[in-house]
Structure 1
């Protein structure tokens, strides 16, 4: 096997494109199975206090991992530290660095988990819905479930370390696909719960202990299986992961010190989500409905926003290193234009098709009129957050390219403060479905406020370029407006003619095809360069896939 440094530049370019196709494809699979997973939670547990309690406590391990370790940032930080040793075929050094990271992660989690166990269930109980049992009862059940979920936090640390290890060895498929296994495992647990335990009772004091044990231990078992698969993948790549005293490794400590502002950013965003989910607990089934709506938002961001931000990062980094500020600003503007070209129609489509999308995922006990209406209210209010996230991500990655990690942290703090203020007002003034809509609006307004803050900081410290964003944004908004009218009319007509979940799915499919076609035609008529760029990129990836296979 030839050393990486001996390979030609065109070969590396083709490999990088092939890797991105692999990651994108399996990421979509993982996101879609995640959407099915949250739909299964709604179908089995429904709009009940148990549904709220399960979804909130099961989200805590993931939020702890993303809040404390920065989630995907953890992987991004560890990969550069490992690549040098991987290229040098120094397996012992790679195992030492990876094990050190894992050791520090687990030590940090040992400190944070007891605090989460103390505060998380108490926060949930403080927002307990009225007339569905005592807050003390919900806090007790939440604490029991979270005790069973605690091992998941450490499993996610293994997942992050193993993913970084495989990525450093240029093994991407398993790392991107393995989360789907966890989702499928949890879906199986929920199906067993429905088959063995029947319909979940409305009151927590009537929930059998066996059902809680099956949900808690079964879900943690699915996460453990995911972690074991990732660990095996890292071992297959040549690195056996064992936690060690990473605080004794200078390389590990150096990377962590550089990452502290970004870790702070991830932490404040995790706090925001914990508070929002706790506030949604004020409505029966509100946590499940809010998470269902968020799953659509995350799917749109994962497909249309994040890949563009990530792909722009290396180019922006090169231009910054070469001290070409004008070209850097032009690249930033083009990246922003392209990202908004995808994000704007995604946000508009999410608003227009919110009732139909909600009917598609609202199955089982969540398929009632109240369940569908709750998801719809959340989705409509959350749709604008796609735009805020798009701007925030492009500005964040552009700041990282300039080695600035403080500006994204400031933007995240503004986002969270605005969101928390809106959440407080919603709890004081609203109730029921209007409260869920208020929480979604608070999240969206916060996302836009954080994005504007980061944009202004970036704009104020950036060299002017030749490319202008306003003309591109005007074309994008005009094309989205041209798309909105026929999609709205057709969705209303088909919704009246087609009933049930299958009818909603057909409506979404037909409106998606109509919307994409109309948006593309309007963009072509307006001579939007972003359309041609996207089409050429898809064509190149298609040809490359054929060559690689």
Structure 2
């Protein structure tokens, strides 16, 4: 299947999940608002969710997939034995780590909670309970990631891409209960408890869903006695540095939690809500591209088909920029409008929406870079080089922390978004420079020229959206009809302007589409 079709499959289903996620966050803002129970819930959910993204979807998948594909070239029985050995070690580690985190939850949350939440003994106790109930989600999702990695390696992308929809359906169910109750502190607290239960239930359901489709694909992972085999040791050597190489975005979110500790009540909610808008294109484009190219790159490099690896990497970068640059420019100018239209209501005030919209603009400055990191790091992982992405990630994190130390006291929560974006660009430049110096990948003049035209095409769209924001400002918080019309008008202006600019500059033509549609060998 071609890169474009693979990305379309993963990205399309991820888009459905993100739409459900928007419905979830709209309900979350209106039912819980910002601060208090809302911050308690965000803190309780952030920990298992960040660990999931960092260890399971980031490091584990990055280390497992190249090794699994190598064993697949030796025959399916070898791949099956390798997966069984990994599962036998992974399960007891997850049970031990999960139990330890649940027991230590009162002290762990204390490290990240801000002063307002720590001073509110009732909501802090609620956050601890919610965190303990929600943490089994990490164990279920880590096992689900193993199953998803097998499916992706077999080029069965749809089931894994659809799985997050289950999480959002479970959370929406819990929030719907809160939305139909009378607005009160007791309702918000009970809704938070239902949300925590829904998280763990969704993890179990996703594991069952992926297990079903793996069996349908004719692949089973037998249980075995835990043994540290040579193959498990090899994966262990890869997975520890991959935590930093593949998970720099998630590590930066951990850093954000540490800095949010000193910010006013509501800051955690503002950052989480803003990140939802950034995660829409990041999840649809970045995760889809990274997931789609890693198995193929691993096969090309294992067979020493360097021209095919170069072609695939070029196509992935071009597609990433084609999709993320206009998305980033559009959200930079219109982020506050989207937040006001969709989230401002009930417990989520105009001030909450204004701050969240500003944070959105800061986050999307780094959107193309976050996606490019996900596109470039598979080139290292496919060569079983997890050390280099660790070094570049460490440098970018040092830059991020230094900027946070300077900017957070001056501009508050917005600093976290801006610093993370600059750090992501530093990481991108370093990764590309190292690939080029080692002769693993070098961008052709054709691709560089096309990226330049993509940036130029986005500029008129940004100017048009800036002007449209001034005209539409009174309607973003108006009636439902006014909100709907204003946001549709913004979308139409952005699409039309970018479409015209792109056509005039030759950003997308028939030859480009055919190249991206070319079937992978």
TM-score by length of 2: 0.84
Q: How does 1:405-416 map to 2 (within 5 A)?
A: 405-416=386-397
Q: Deviations over 1:226-263 (max 9, x none)?
A: 32333333344455656544434444443443444323
- How far off its partner does 1:82 sit? 7.4
Q: Deviations over 1:199-236 (max 9, x none)?
A: 353xxxx7887555433323322332232333333344
What's 1:10 paired with? none
2:270/2:356 contact within 8 Å kept: yes
Q: How does 1:415-434 map to 2 (within 5 A)?
A: 415-427=396-408, 429-430=409-410, 434=411
Q: How does 1:511-530 map to 2 (within 5 A)?
A: 511-528=490-507, 530=508
What's 2:465 paired with? 487
What's 1:274 paired with? 254
- How far off its partner does 1:449 sit? 1.9
1:399 to 1:367, Cα distance in 2 relative to 1, 3 A: same
What's 1:6 paired with? none
Residue number among 493, 502, 506 corresponding to 2:485 in the alignment: 506
Residue number among 271, 274, 279 corresponding to 1:290 in the alignment: 271
Q: How does 1:241-390 map to 2 (within 5 A)?
A: 244-266=224-246, 269-280=249-260, 282-308=263-289, 314=296, 318=300, 322=304, 332=313, 335-390=316-371
Q: Write the distance in 1 (CA, Å) between the matches of 2:75 and 2:309.
A: 33
* Residue 448 (str. 1) matches residue 425 (str. 2): yes
* Residue 398 (str. 1) matches residue 379 (str. 2): yes
Q: Describe the SS at the equivalent of 1:247.
A: coil
1:267 to 1:310, Cα distance in 2 relative to 1, 3 A: closer
Q: Deviations over 1:277-298 (max 9, x none)?
A: 3533633332222122112212
Q: Write the distance in 2 (CA, Å) between the matches of 1:482 and 1:105.
A: 51
Q: Write the distance in 1 (CA, Å) between the matches of 2:444 and 2:79.
A: 45
What's 2:412 paired with? 435
Residue number among 128, 150, 159 corresponding to 2:144 in the alignment: 159
Residue number among 31, 35, 46 corresponding to 2:18 in the alignment: 31
Q: Describe the SS at the equivalent of 2:445.
A: coil
2:109/2:128 contact within 8 Å kept: no
Q: Write the distance in 2 (CA, Å) between the matches of 1:354 and 1:210.
A: 31
What's 2:39 paired with? 52
Q: Describe the SS at the equivalent of 1:199.
A: coil
1:29/1:180 contact within 8 Å kept: yes
- How far off its partner does 1:315 sit? 6.2
- How far off its partner does 1:274 sit? 2.3
Q: Write the distance in 2 (CA, Å) between the matches of 1:217 and 1:70.
A: 22
Q: Deviations over 1:381-424 (max 9, x none)?
A: 11111122133233323334555332222222122222233333
1:112 to 1:417, Cα distance in 2 relative to 1, 3 A: farther
1:280/1:290 contact within 8 Å kept: no
- How far off its partner does 1:353 sit? 0.7
Q: Write the distance in 1 (CA, Å) between the matches of 2:84 and 2:272.
A: 34
* Residue 41 (str. 1) matches residue 50 (str. 2): no
- How far off its partner does 1:135 sit? 5.8
What's 1:8 paired with? none
2:117/2:123 contact within 8 Å kept: no
Q: How does 1:186-201 map to 2 (within 5 A)?
A: 186-196=171-181, 198-201=182-185
What is the aligned length? 515
1:279 to 1:340, Cα distance in 2 relative to 1, 3 A: same
Q: Deviations over 1:63-82 (max 9, x none)?
A: 22333334485287258637
- Aligned Cα root-mean-square deviation (Å): 3.8
Q: Deviations over 1:430-464 (max 9, x none)?
A: 4xxx4121111121122122222223323333376
Q: Using CA pairs below 8 Å that are at least 6 residues apart, which structure has the higher relative contact order?
A: 2
What's 1:227 paired with? 207
- How far off its partner does 1:358 sit? 0.7
Q: Describe the SS at the equivalent of 1:365.
A: coil
- How far off its partner does 1:100 sit? 3.1
1:519 to 1:119, Cα distance in 2 relative to 1, 3 A: farther
Segments of 5+ residues of structure 2 without an aligned counterpart are none
- How far off its partner does 1:348 sit? 0.8
Segments of 5+ residues of structure 1 without an aligned counterpart are 1-12, 545-549
TM-score by length of 1: 0.80
What's 1:9 paired with? none
2:37/2:189 contact within 8 Å kept: no
What's 1:5 paired with? none
Q: Write the distance in 1 (CA, Å) between the matches of 2:369 and 2:110.
A: 31
Deviation larger for 32-41 or 118-127:
118-127
1:269/1:416 contact within 8 Å kept: no
Q: Write the distance in 2 (CA, Å) between the matches of 1:320 and 1:393.
A: 20
1:76 to 1:365, Cα distance in 2 relative to 1, 3 A: farther
Q: Deviations over 1:144-189 (max 9, x none)?
A: 2221112212111221122234445554433321221221111101
Q: Deviations over 1:102-149 (max 9, x none)?
A: 332233334433564577654654565555671655543332222111
1:209 to 1:362, Cα distance in 2 relative to 1, 3 A: closer
Residue number among 413, 437, 442 corresponding to 1:460 in the alignment: 437
